[in-house]
Amino acid sequence: MEAERFEIDNGILIRYTGEDSALVLPEGVTEIAFRAFHNCRMLREVRLPESLVCIRQEAFHLCSALEEVFGGEHVTRIERDAFTGTPWQRRYAGNETGWKEDEGEFKMIGNVLVRAKRNLRQAVIPEGTGMIAADAFADCTLMERVEIPSSVTYIGWRAFTECMCLTHIRIPGTCRRIGWHAFEKCNRLKSIDLEEGIEIMENGVFSSCRSLQQVRIPASVKRFGGWMFFSCVNLEEVWFDGPVKELPERCFSSCFKLQYVHLAKGLERIGVEAFYECTVLQEVILPEGVKHIERLAFGRDRYFETLVLPESLESLDESVFHGCAGFTELTLPGHLQELPASTFHGCAGIEKLTIREGVRKLGAHGFAGCRRIRELDMPCSMEEVGDGAFEGCSGLTRVSLKEGIRRLGHAAFAGCTRMERIDLPDSLEQIGDLCFDHCFALADQDGMILQDGAFYACVEKKSELTLPEGCRRIASGAFAGNANYRRIVVPQAVEAAGDGPFRRCEHLEEALVLSPQIRDLGEDPFDGCRRLQTITVCGMEPEKFQDASVRICAALGFGEHYERYPEKVAASYRRFAGKHLEEILRAAIDRQLTRALRYFTEQRVIGARQLPGLLEYAQKKRAMEIVAQLLDYRSEWEEIDVFDQYIL
């Protein structure tokens, strides 16, 4: 019957299902598995067998009556929270009044130091101790000194956390592993001696050790955890004697006084915010072999003076060097190909920027705010400059874009107030909204940016804009995103237009494109023009406008200027008007567009059956000029006395 209460597999006690208050575990059990006795609320005491070697995480978790643990002379490993939630654990974790007189300074199970007395001022851990368990010295706030013997191979989770008076620690090389946050918040810890032989340092081992100043990491360390020295606010210098493959997330973040980090060859990855807000960091020489640098790894390191990106570098994440204002020269290696968003945003110290052949794309805001860059020569491999890539680079005077560039993003060069010249090759297909906003030095005396007959932008605030006669082409996005325009006139001499030149002109009311040669403005060219009244694009048929409301605006524009349309295009508008006549005329009345009714009255399109309803609708909308226009409308229906009821 007793055997049925234990689920044992190959020496591992997996589960206990009985309700005994006192329990002797059977010999032969070598390991107690995760939560094997979880929530056994009747259990008051347990005797561990001599064969037992390991007690796994939360093995006796929430055994709320457990007061005594005996035996276990050969236990070598006890994982974290093994006795959490038990009176036994609370007795030894509290003050010394709960300890028995003959128990000495340390509570041991086998060769595992489970707990030390909280009021210790000095601790000499006995030789033969193999493991310092999780929380063993946690909150020993008076302890000033501890000696760790060479027999210790593992320091557990939070083992020395918040030992506020501890000033120095030596960890012998026989200790292969230091657990999670083992020395966190040891605020007076000034120096640490990590001996050769340590292999694994888990996350946050020395985080928030506010007095620590210098650290040397032995060459034997193979795994270096994240948050390792997070918020060690007085740490100044770090040496790595050997090849750590990865510096994980936030390992030196918020080390405000860190100036030098000496990295060894073998490093491959630098993690998220690894050196974030190391505000006085002056130099990190990235060794050859580094392949990946993740998001904000060096963000806001304002005095970072020297940056050389190794040839081995394969990828950068967003905002890696955001706000690093110290270094003055930068070369982007060609094998990077793409630069992510905001990588060098706010690096105000850069004066010389070299972009090597092979780089194809600059991400959004990649160099925004780099106000000391003077000249920029893009490589032939460059295909795209992202949104706001050089926004606010107020010192930029010249930009050379080579044949092969296809896209300039939204506000790509906005705020480059001193830019006098930019080479825009024929391969350029798309220019985003406000690409050259506030590029005053690039514009002519009328505020227009024109190059080789192509119109790119107007930097002055104008509600009405008429392109000059010398203009032959409109670049894509030329007017897009400008909230000032209410009326735009494109003269007949213009021969071509790029995609979406009018998008998101949210106050635009009227657009006149008088050239019959412009037959397409791209997909949804008036998207976001919320106040649009009429559109006149003499070369475009109504079916080419995807939005139904825009087609009505186009029909109203045709009504105003129908004599300017080529016959084929005019015929398509006549067919469209025949199908949607009532909707078009009511839209004209709603907007009180008397000129838009020209075609419909002069060509006698409005029939006798429609007139009474239109007159009544116009009078209801108080569109009295249109009422007068309709009353003057005479054709074969003159004898109808319906007009007599309307008196102006």
Shared fold status for 3-90 and 328-442: yes
- Is 334's pLDDT higher than 50? yes
For residue 528, is pLDDT > 50?
yes
The pLDDT > 90 percentage for the chain reads: 82
Q: How far apart are CA 277 and CA 252, in angstroms?
A: 9
Strands 77-78 and 112-116: what pairing?
unpaired
pLDDT score at 23: 96
Q: Which residues contact 646 (CB under 8 A, 6 or more apart)?
A: 615, 619, 627, 631
Domain 328-442: top CATH class: alpha beta
CA–CA separation, 367 and 316 (whole Å): 14
Give me the percent of the chain exceeding a pLDDT of 70.
97
Q: Which two tokens stand for residue 167?
A: 């000033």
What residues does each domain of the chain span? 3-90, 328-442, 533-645
CA dihedral 630, 636, 638, 643 (to 10 degrees): -30
564-604 pLDDT per residue, tens? 999 999 999 999 999 999 999 999 999 999 999 888 888 88
Q: Given this model, what pLDDT does residue 643 score?
A: 45
List all residues 6 or more positions away from 250 whose beta carbon is below 8 Å from its beta carbon: 226, 227, 230, 271, 272, 273, 274, 276
Nearest to 423 by CA among 403, 395, 439, 444: 403
**Of residues 469 and 375, more confidently modeled:** 375
Homologous superfamily of 3-90 in CATH?
Ribonuclease Inhibitor (3.80.10.10)
- Is-contact 98 74, C-beta < 8 A? no
* Pairing outcome for strands 260-262 and 283-284: parallel
Beta strands in 392-461 (DSSP E): 398-400, 407-408, 421-423, 430-431, 448-451, 454-458
DSSP string, 71-95: E-TT--EE-TTTTTTSHHHHHHHS-
pTM score: 0.80
Q: Residue 642: is its pLDDT beyond 60?
A: no
